[in-house]
Structure 1
Amino acid sequence: MMRLAVRTLRYRKSGFIATFVAVIFGTAIVLACGGLMETGIRSNVAPERLAAAPIVVTGKLTHLRPGKEDVTHLTEQVGIDDSVAAKIRSLQGVTDVIGDQTFPAPVPQGQGFSKGEGHDWSAAALAPFTLTSGTAPRPGGVVLDATTARDLHAKLGGKVNLLVGGRRTAFTVDGIAAGPAGNTFFSDQDASRLAGQPGKFSSLGVLVAPGTDLKALRKQIEKTADVSALIGLDRGQVEHPDAAVKKVVLISVAGSFGGIATMTMMFVVASTLALAAQHRQREFALLRSIGTTPGQVRRMILGEAMLVSLPAVLAGVIPGALLGRFLFDQLSKNGVASPDVTFYQGLIPFAAGAGAAVLAAVGAAFMASRRSAKIRPVEALVESSLQTKWFSWVRLVIGLLFVGGGLALMIVTGAVMSGPLAGATAGPAVLCWAIGLAVLGPLVTKLILGILRWPLYAVSRVNGRLAILNVTARSVAMSAAVMPVMLAVGIATANIYMQTTNVDAASKAFTKDLRADAVLVSTASGLSPSLLPQVQALKGVASASAYVTSLGVIDEPRNAPFDEDGALLQGISPQGSDGTAPVRLTTGSLEGLTGNTVALPDAVATKIQRPVGTSIKMTLGDGTPVELKVVATFAAERGYESIVLPADLVAAHTTDRLAPQILVRAEPGASIAPALAELAAATPGVQVADRDALIAGNNEDLKTQAWINYLLVGMLIAYTAVSVVNTLASATVRRRREFGLQRLTGSTRGQVLRMLTTEGILVALSGIVLGTLVALATLLPYASAVSTSATPSGPIWIYLIIIGIAFVLTMLSTLIPATKSLSTRPAEAAARAD
C-alpha cells in the first residue's frame, strides 16, 4: 500500500500541497517558540566585569513565603553581608574573596546622562581591567574606562562630573583603565558610602586554587551561607540582573503561546487532512469494492501522511529558525527579553516542533482512516456524492467536553477571578470554545446556516438560491470551510480585545484617584532626596510627594490575597488629605506614613484582618524583612490592589535607592509649570512631565505585555489564515467535476461564479458569527472581572478589520481556484474523479 500511496501523490496535488503547507508553518511556529523557551531556560550571558572570578556569589534572588510553595522572584539588587565573605574565605580551595560594590553612576552625554555603573577599585581585580595610565583612585577621585574617558575627553588630573546619588558631583580623574565600557571605579571608602548599603556588598568574587572542583565548592558555599553561587555562563546574570528577572517572563510567554500554537497546529493539520480524506470517499469505496481490506486502506492513508509530513518538517526548519530569531529580537527591543542573552535554538526545539507536526499529521490521518476504512463500499459510493453522516459518540463526547470546559472557565473568570489574573482562565477558554465548536462543526454549521439562509434567500436570485440550497444540503461538508474562519475570527477578536480591555481597566484604576497635576521625572538613576523640599517650597505648589514603586511579599498573615509574583509597592511621602497620593483613604491618615508603616487596601485589610493600629510582616524587593504598622486603609479597584509604604523605605530597598519621580499638585488656580521647568533646568537629569506621562509609565508593563500578545497572536492569526486559504481552496478545487456537470446542463461560467459567490458569503458569515460568539463567550466574563463594565474596551475598527480580512480571504480562496477550475472544458472536468 505504500507503493500505491506514493503513486497517488501526483494525482492528489491540491490536498497534499495544503497539508504540506500547514505542516511547514506549524513546524516553524512551534520551533520558534521552542527556541524562545530554550533561550529563557539557559539565559546565558557571558561575564565581562566579573570574568576573572570562577565563582560569583550573590544574595538569594528568590523568596519563599512562609507556609507557601510558591517562589517569588525578587526584583531588586540583593546585598550580601560582609561577614559572608569571611565564611567563604575559610573554605578549602578558596584563595581570596573580593567584594564588589555596584551602584548607578551615569556619565554626561550630550545634554543628558548615559547609563553607567560605579564600583569599588578592589573589584577591578575581578575583571580584565588594567591601568594604562595614572594610579588607583583616591578619595574624591575615579578611574575611568578607556572608552568613557575618550568620550568625555578626560585627562589625568582633570575633573569629570558624574550623577551619583541623584546629584551631579565633580571627581578627579586619577587613572584610566582598559576594560569593558560603562564602568567607573571609586576608592573603596567612596564606593561603600555612595552604594548606600553599609556593611553589605552587591556581590562577591571567589578566587580558587588551581584544580579546585567548582561544582563541589559551589554547593559548599551555598550550604555555608544563605546565598546563590554561580559558575560558568551563569555569572553573567550578576552583571545583567534583568536577564534573570526577564528569564521567567520569556519562559512563561514561550510556554503559554507554544502550547496554544501546538494545539492550533494540530487542529489545522487535522482539519486539512480530514477534508482531503473526505473528498476521497469515492476512491476508498472503489478500493474496497475490488477487495482492499480496511487495514490496507488505513496503512495507505497513514503512509501518505508520513510521506507529506516528513519533508514538510524538514522544510519548516529554516523558516522556524528565522522566525525564532525574529521573535527574540522583537522581544529584546521591547524590553521583554534581555538583549544581552544569547539566543539558542538547538535539537530540543527542533524535536518538539517536528514531533508535534508529525504527530498531528499521523493522528489526523489515523482518525480520518478509521471511518474511511470501515465504511462499506456501496455506502461510500453513495455518500461521496452528498455527505450527510458525521455523528459518532466519540466526536460528540469530545466536543461536549471542550464546550463544557469553556463554560466552566467562563464561570470561573466572571465569578472568581479579578484584575489581570482573569487572563489565566480567559485565555484557555478561547481555545476550549473554538475547539469544542470545531469538533461539533457539522452540527453548529447546520444550525447557523439554517438561520442565515433565509435573509440571503429573500434577496437572492436563481443562482444565489441554488447556492443556498446547495450549501444547506452540503452542511456537513461545508463545516470544514466554516470552522477555520470561526477559529481565526474567534482567536483574533478575543485575544486582542482582552489586551485592550486590560490596559484600559488598569489605566482607569490608577487614574481614578490620581490628583497630581505634574510630575518631575529622573532621566538618569533617580532624584536627589534634597529635591523634594525645593519643590514643596515653590510658590503655587499645594502638595508634593516622592513616588517610587517596587514589588514585595506579605509574609504574615499568610492569607494575603496576592499570587507568587508578589504585591505592587507604591512609595509616597507623608501627606495630608490634600496630598498627591493616588489613593482614596477610608480609615486612618497618611500623615504618619513614616518609618516602618504601611497603608493597606480595604479588601486586603479585611482579608488578613489587619485594621489600623495592627502590624504585618513583609519582605521587600531586595529580600529585606520588615515589620510594619498599619496607619491607614484605602479603597482600590478589585484586582488592582497595591500596598502603600513610605517613599524613603521603598527607595532604600530598590536597586537605585532613589525615587525616580516627584508628584506635584497645584493650588487652585495656580500655574506651577514655569517654576517646575526652571527648577528642572537647574537640576541635571530632571525633566517635567504632565500626569499623562505618569499614567503611561504606570501602564508601561501592561502595554509591553499587550504588544507581546499582539505580535504572537498576529502570528497565530496568520497561521489560521493559511488554514482558511488551504481549506477553502482545496474544497473548491475538489468540486471541478460538479462544476463541469453544471456547465454541461446549461449553466454558464458567470452563473457558476455567482453561485460560488453566494456560497462564499454564506460560509464567511457563518464563520464570522460563530467566531464572534466564541469571542463574546470569553470577553464578557473577562471584562466584568477586570473592570466595572461587562463590555470589553477597545476601538471597533479592530473587529471590523478582523472580519473584513476573514471575509476577503474566504471570497478569494473560493473564487480564484474556481475561476481556474472553470477554465477546463466542461466535458473534461465532468470526466475527472473528485
Structure 2
Amino acid sequence: MIGLAFRSLRKRAGAFVASFLSMFLGATILMAFASMLDTANGDNVTGTAKSTLTTMASVVGGWGLLLVVFAVTSTLTLSVRQRAAEMALLKSIGATPAQLGRMIVGEAAGLAVVAALLAIAPAVLAGRALLGLLHDTHQVPGEVSYSFGPIAVAMGLGITFVSATLAALLTARRATRVRVTESLMAASTGTAKPSRKRLVFAGLFLLLALDEAIVTCTLMRDKGSDAMATSGQADILAAIGLALLSPLIMRRVTGLLAGPLRMLGATGDLAVTNMRRRTGAMAAAVTPIILFTATAVGTLFLQATENAATRAAGVAKTADQKGIETLNLVVIGMVVLFTAIMLVNTLVAATAHRRREFGQTRLAGATPRQVLGTVALESVILTVTGVACGTVAAVFTIVPFGIARKDSPTPDGSVWTYLAVVALAAVLTGATAYGATRRALRTPAVNAVMP
C-alpha cells in the first residue's frame, strides 16, 4: 500500500495540492519563527534581545503550530472525503482497513517531507524579514545577526512530518472504519455526520476559550497589558471549536435559508440542493473564514483597546508595550496570509472536484450563468456564516480584555476596521469560487461527466 500511495501521488498530484500547500506554508512559518531561537543562541545575544527573540519564537510559533495542524487536518480530510468512491472500490476488491490506513498515511508523510524541504529557502527569507522588523522597532539591537540553524530545520521537518502523519491517522481511522455501502453513499451525497470525537473536541476548545475569558475578566482585571496573555488566545480556541462544529452549523444554516433561497428561482433551488448534498465540503470551506475573521478581528480590536487605555493613562509606550504591539501585528499578518491561502486552497480543491457535478447540472438544462449564480449564492452564505462565527469567537477576546483593561465590555477600534476584515473575507471567498467555477465550466458538459 505504500507503493500505491506514491503512485497515487504521482498520478493524482492535483488532488493533493491543497494539502501540500498547507504543509509547505506551515513549515515555512514554523521554521521562520524557530530560527529566532537559533538567532537567540548566537554570540553576544543576551538580556532583553534574547528574551524578545525567545518570546517571538514561542508565542507566535506555538499558535502557528496549532493553526498548521488544524489546517493540514482539514485539507487532508477534504481530500479523503473527495476520494470516498475510490476508497469504497479498494474495499470492495479486498483492501483491509489497515492497508488503506497505510496508504493515506504514506501519502501524507511523503507530502510532508517534500513540503518541509522545499520550505527551507522561503523560511530563511521570512526569518530575515522578521528579524529586520525587530531591528526596525528597536526591540533587538542592529548588531544581532540572523542565524538559521539546527533548531529551525529540526522543528520544521519534525513538526510538519509529525503533524501531517497524525492528521492522516485521524483522517484514515474514520475513512477506513466506514463500510463499503456507507462509503459509496458518502461519495454520492457528501453528507457524512461529524464523529463523536469531533464534537467532544469542539466542546473542549470552546470550554478552554470560555475559561480564558473568565480568567481575563477576574484574575487579570487591573493587571494592565498583562491581560493580553490570557485574552489573546481565547479567540483562536473559540474559532477552532466553532470550526469543528461547522458541519452542524452549515446544516442548520441551509435548513433556515432553504425557503428564502428557493424564492430566487432555479438558481436558489440549485444552491439549496447542492448545499444539502455537500455539507462536508461546505464545512471545510467555511473553516478558514472563521479562523481568519476571529483572529483578525480579535487581535486588531484587542490592540486598539490597549492603545486607547495607554493614551487614557497619559503615559508613553514602554519598550515591552511596543514589543507586544509588534507581536500582535505579526500574528495578524501570519494568520491573514495562512488562512487566506488555506481558504483559496480549500475552495479551489472543492470546486475542481465539482466539475462532474457541474456537467450533470448543465446536461439537465442549467445554463453556465445559472451554475455561476448558484456558486455565487453559496459563496455569500459561506462568507456570512464564517464571518458571523468568527465574530462570535472574537468576542471571547475583545469583551473580556475590555472589562479587564478599562472596565468596559465595549471594545475600542473603528467600525471600518471590522468592515475591512469582512470585505477581505468576502473578496477572497467570492473571487476564488468564481475563478475556480469559470475554469471548471470550460470543460464541455459531456466531457465533464465522463469518468
TM-score (normalizing by structure 1): 0.52
Is 1:475 matched up with 2:94? no
Instruction: Indicate whether 1:373 and 2:372 are aligned.
Output: no
Query: Is there any run of 5+ residues in structure 2 with no aligned partner, and where?
Result: none
Answer yes or no: is 1:363 the counterpart of 2:202.
no
Matches within 5 A, 1:322-333: 322-333=125-136
Is 1:38 the equivalent of 2:41? no
Structure 2 CA distance, aligned partners of 1:438 and 1:780?
A: 21
Closer, same or farther in 2 for the Cα pair 1:698/1:347, shift >3 Å?
A: closer
Mark the CA change 1:703 to 1:455 in structure 2 (over 3 Å): closer, same or farther. farther
Identity across matched positions, percent: 36
- Cα displacement (A) at 1:456: 5.0
SS at match of 1:248: helix
Q: In the aligned structure 2, how far is the partner of 1:360 from the partner of 1:493?
A: 27
Cα distance in 2 for residues equivalent to 1:698 and 1:808:
36
Offset, 1:420: 1.1
* AA aligned opposite 1:264: L
Tell me, yes or no, if the aligned pair for 2:231 and 2:396 is still in contact at 8 Å: no
Aligned: 1:461 with 2:265: yes
How far apart are 1:455 and its partner, in Å? 5.5
Aligned to 1:48: none
Report the counterpart of residue 402 of structure 1 in structure 2: 205
Deviations 1:301-323 (A, max 9, x none): 11111221111111000001110
Q: What are the residue-to-residue correspondences of 1:543-562 with 2, within 5 Å?
A: none
Shift of 1:376: 1.1
Q: CA deviation at 1:6?
A: 2.1
1:550-589 to 2 correspondences below 5 Å: none
Give me the whole-angstrom Cα distance separating, in 2, the residues matched to 1:363 and 1:700. 40
Q: Distance in 1 between matches of 2:253 and 2:36?
A: 40
Classify the secondary structure of the residue corresponding to 2:442.
coil
Question: Is 1:14–1:733's contact at 8 Å kept on the other side of the alignment?
Answer: no
Distance in 2, matches of 1:427 and 1:329, equals: 24
Higher strand share: 1
**Aligned ranges for residues 587-606 of structure 1 at < 5 Å?**
none
1:431 aligns with 2:236: yes
Call closer, same or farther: CA 1:495–1:310 in 2, change over 3 Å.
same
Q: Deviations over 1:292-340 (max 9, x none)?
A: 1111111111111122111111100000111001100111111122212
* 1:277 is aligned to 2:90: no
Evaluate the alpha carbon distance shift between residue 440 and residue 698 of structure 1 in structure 2; reply closer, same or farther with a 3 A threshold: closer
Report what 1:726 is aligned to.
345
Please say if 1:497 is aligned against 2:301.
yes
Residues 611-658 of structure 1: per-residue CA shift (max 9 Å, x gap): xxxxxxxxxxxxxxxxxxxxxxxxxxxxxxxxxxxxxxxxxxxxxxxx
Q: Are 1:2 and 1:299, in contact at CA under 8 Å, matched by a contact in 2?
A: yes
Go from structure 1 to structure 2 and tell me whether the alpha carbon gap of 1:496 and 1:812 turns closer, same or farther (over 3 Å shift): same
Q: Verify: 1:802 aligned to 2:429, yes or no.
A: no
Where in structure 2 are the equivalents of 1:282-361 lying within 5 Å? 282-361=85-164
- Residues 827/277 of structure 1: CA separation in 2 closer, same or farther (3 Å cut): same
Match among 757, 770, 790 for residue 376 of structure 2: 757
Aligned-pair CA distance for 1:15? 2.6
Match of 1:828 in 2: 447
| Offset of residue 367 of structure 1 | 1.1
Q: Which residue of 2 aligns with 1:773?
A: 392
CA contact (8 A) 1:409 1:425 kept: yes
Q: Aligned partners of 2:248, 2:34: CA distance in 1, in Å?
A: 36
> Using CA pairs below 8 Å that are at least 6 residues apart, which structure has the higher relative contact order?
2
Structure 2 counterparts to residues 79-478 of structure 1, below 5 A: 243-418=46-221, 419-451=224-256, 456=261, 460-478=264-282
Q: Which amino acid aligns with 2:421?
A: I
Q: Deviations over 1:651-684 (max 9, x none)?
A: xxxxxxxxxxxxxxxxxxxxxxxxxxxxxxxxxx
Superposition deviation, residue 453 in structure 1: 5.4
Give the Cα separation in 1 of the matches to 2:260 and 2:138: 50
Write the distance in 2 (CA, Å) between the matches of 1:800 and 1:808. Answer: 12
1:11 Cα deviation from its structure 2 partner: 4.0
Matching residue's letter, 1:484: P
Structure 2 CA distance, aligned partners of 1:35 and 1:761? Answer: 40
- Secondary structure of the 2:432 match is helix
Report what 1:710 is aligned to.
329
Task: Give the CA deviation at 1:375.
Answer: 1.4
2 CA distance for matches of 1:21 and 1:391?
25
Question: What is the CA–CA distance in structure 1 between the aligned matches of 2:260 and 2:218, rounded to whole Å?
Answer: 38
Which residue identity does 2:19 align to in structure 1?
A: T
**Distance between the aligned counterparts of 1:773 and 1:455, measured in 2?**
24
Look up the equivalent residue of 1:718 and give its one-letter code: L
State the alpha-carbon separation in 1 of the partners of residues 384 and 83 from structure 2: 27
Output the amino acid matched with 2:354. Answer: R
Q: 1:702 to 1:457 in 2, by over 3 A?
A: farther
The separation in 2 between residues aligned to 1:731 and 1:8, in whole angstroms, is 19
Report the alpha carbon displacement of residue 34 of structure 1 after superposing the two structures with TM: 0.5
1:17 equivalent in structure 2: 17
CA contact (8 A) 1:446 1:476 kept: no
- For the residues of structure 2 that align with 1:394 and 1:507, how far apart are their CA atoms? 46
Deviations 1:218-238 (A, max 9, x none): xxxxxxxxxxxxxxxxxxx6x
Equivalent residues, number: 449
Given the superposition, is the C-alpha separation of residues 472 and 378 from structure 1 closer, same or farther in structure 2, using an over 3 Å criterion? Answer: closer
